[in-house]
Amino acid sequence: MKHYCSVLFLLGVILISSVIEAKFQTRVQRGQLLKHATQKYGLRSFFQHQHVADFRDYAYFGNITLGTPIASAPEQTFLVVLDTGSSNVWVPDNTCGLHDRRSACSRKNKYFATNSSSYEKDGRPFSISYGTGSASGVFGKDTLCFSDTTLCIKSQIFGQASTIAPFFANQEIDGILGLGFTDLAVNDAPPPFVNAVNQGLVDQPIFTVYLEHHGMKRASSGGYFTYGGEDPDHCGEIITWIPLTRASYWQFRMQAVGVDSVHENTAGWEVISDTGTSFIGGPGKVIDKIAKKYGAEYDEFNESYYIPCSTVKSLPSLKLQINDLQFEIDPINLVAYPDSKECDLTLFAIYGGGFGPSWILGDPFIRQFCNIHDIENKRLGLAHSKQQDDIL
């Protein structure tokens, strides 16, 4: 489980517009016939794209469905964070906040087991904690489908959350879907993509993440998760395959980091790539040193670094050494836009006391480099994103 500030817990003001939600729903409906054919006839999904919405480069969300509707029951759709930094799936259960109008579940989509003919009872309790949020309840099993695709996983273990932290009350998302490894999961519940591989539903044991930058805009289509293969439409050729040092998170070794030179900081650290974290996190002293190189000021109240947006074009890249190769993150991917004048420099300090990974390479890293996740060979591929830098 995460012990650091993730996208949900680093930011307290994430909202998705009703326009974005409507476009999500339209895309979900568009894929219904294909999805139900897959479920009925057991077709393989091979590789398929799922689009995600981009909230001002702070967060990326996607839709899933759970269950097989009975009679006239509606399909049960949930907006979730597709999170490579955790491994469990959970959504609010219909029992969440049942007798409490002030519950964080009061405005969430809720799961009704009685409305699904494919529901299976598990009954084991679960409890999961993140940076400033948590969820608890019991496990159940049902068919889980990724929106925009025909990829449906039968008997997927997921959390039926009867309690979620107050922090989630003002978040537009309903739940979280983990894309890490089983070793990271509470009660060793296999994550959905691991199950998809085990059930032979995808052509290759690979999923690819491509994230876009849209600045101050909210984009209903802000990137793609491709299940079962690479994404040549949005990503270049793979530069390198990085062997994982631990297959729980997507964890590997970073040798050095710097601004003017990659050799400015050469201690070497364990790092993870994480779609569920908005910024890049690292040891406090190193992060502060890098922030000063960019001329950033620290806002103690918001616990963030900021720079004038007018200076972004002239900033140098952030340089990383991984697998004996140098990777550069362009300034356009190192900022986020709370307003048009002051930009957030997407860095934050981690104080972990020596436990767990020292760095989190969040969305800025993934916007620059497509991440190709190889479950079977326990490695992470990096490829240049094909998005054009046209927002500044």
Catalytic residues: 83, 274
Asked whether the beta carbons of 270 and 360 are under 8 A apart, the reply is no
**Cα angle 314, 320, 322; round to 5:** 155
Residue found by looking up tokens 């955790």 in the block: 86
Chain centroid to CA 121: 28
**Cα angle 263, 267, 272; round to 5:** 100
Long-range contacts of 385-388 (CB under 8 A, 24+ apart): 385/210, 385/211, 385/212, 385/234, 385/235, 385/236, 386/233, 386/234, 386/235, 386/236, 387/210, 387/212, 387/213, 387/234
CA dist 88 and 181 (Å) reads 9
Secondary structure class of 235 (helix, strand, coil): strand
CA dist 191 and 316 (Å) reads 38
Structure tokens that stand for 104 in this block: 């964080």
